[in-house]
Amino acid sequence: MDDAERGVGRMKGDSFGTRLRALRMTKGLSQVELARLIHRHPTAIGPYERDEYAPPREVVDRIAELLDTTPEYLWFGRSPKRPTLAQGGRIGPGGLARPLDATALPLELRSDRLRAWLLEDGVHGARYRPGDLLLVAAEPLRPDQALGRDALVRLADGRDVLGRLLPGARPDLPLLCLSGGEVAVAVEALEARPVLGVLAPDAITSRPGRTGAGCDHQE
């Protein structure tokens, strides 16, 4: 095992061990069962999941295959396989739809830059409905960079609130539009993560955990 592999064992939070444990539990396997499937000692998996040391590369390859993932994801939290969407065409002036030709490539989603938030209530206008998943940027912007956009806004008191940021009387106090656009209040905003898209329940195959908040439609 080289120094880079030993470094994995010293990582905290999102590490080799935490990713391994989450994938193993998703498959419904015990540590002993996984160890048996990869032909290791029954107690081998525990130290891997506690990040005490990293397994050999060939063992990581076997684990990745069994858990339907990639060695790259286990080591670094990155997957070389990004989800894609087939692009149906373009919508031009007057709302006229034009299909693309047969050579159009699928669109690769930057899924590592998105986080999904489940909307729970229905006071946010016609655009967002209960059960929708809001696709929110993982990395925040300065509040002034998100003016005119729906965003999860981090307030000075530590709360994250979904709303649309608008220019205020002072640059450091933008307006936050809430409750379907009927209320706009001046807030001390620290950062904002823009809403980049929305998925209706029919577009996903599994139901996420419950979290999130909401606002009005986006022009």
Hey, which bits of the chain come out as E strands? 84-85, 89-91, 97-99, 107-108, 114-118, 133-137, 150-155, 160-170, 173-178, 183-186, 189-199
Cα 119 off chain centre by: 15
Strand partners, 153: 161, 192
pLDDT of residue 81: 62
CATH code for the domain of 56: 1.10.260.40
Higher pLDDT, 185 or 7: 185
Q: Select from 15, 49, 76 the last residue of a domain.
A: 76
**In terms of domains, do 199 and 117 share one?**
yes
Please identify which residue in the block is written with the tokens 């064992």: 9
Give pLDDT tens digits for 154-205.
Answer: 999 999 999 999 999 888 899 998 756 667 889 999 999 999 999 888 887 7
Tokens of 215: 């606002």
pLDDT of residue 14: 80
DSSP string covering 144-157: GGGTTSEEEEEETT
Asked which of 52-56, 99-103, 112-116, 214-218 is least confident by mean pLDDT, the reply is 214-218
Closest-CA residue to 11 (of 51, 48, 45)? 51
Q: pTM score, two decimals? A: 0.56
Half-sphere exposure of 184 (CA within 13 A, CB side): 14
Can you tell me the distance from the alpha carbon of 127 to that of 46, in angstroms, rounded to the nearest whole number?
A: 46
CATH code for the domain of 124: 2.10.109.10
Tally of structural domains, the chain: 2
**In terms of domains, do 132 and 64 share one?**
no
**In terms of domains, do 125 and 58 share one?**
no
Can you tell me the distance from the alpha carbon of 144 to that of 32, in angstroms, rounded to the nearest whole number?
A: 52
pLDDT-derived band at 88, boundaries 50, 70, 90: confident
Q: The domain containing residue 53 runs over which residues?
A: 3-76
**In terms of domains, do 69 and 118 share one?**
no
Can you tell me the distance from the alpha carbon of 83 to that of 129, in angstroms, rounded to the nearest whole number?
A: 24
Strand partners, 63: none
Question: How is residue 179 annotated by DSSP?
Answer: G
Can you tell me the distance from the alpha carbon of 67 to that of 24, in angstroms, rounded to the nearest whole number?
A: 7
Question: How is residue 96 annotated by DSSP?
Answer: -
Residue 18 lies in a domain: yes
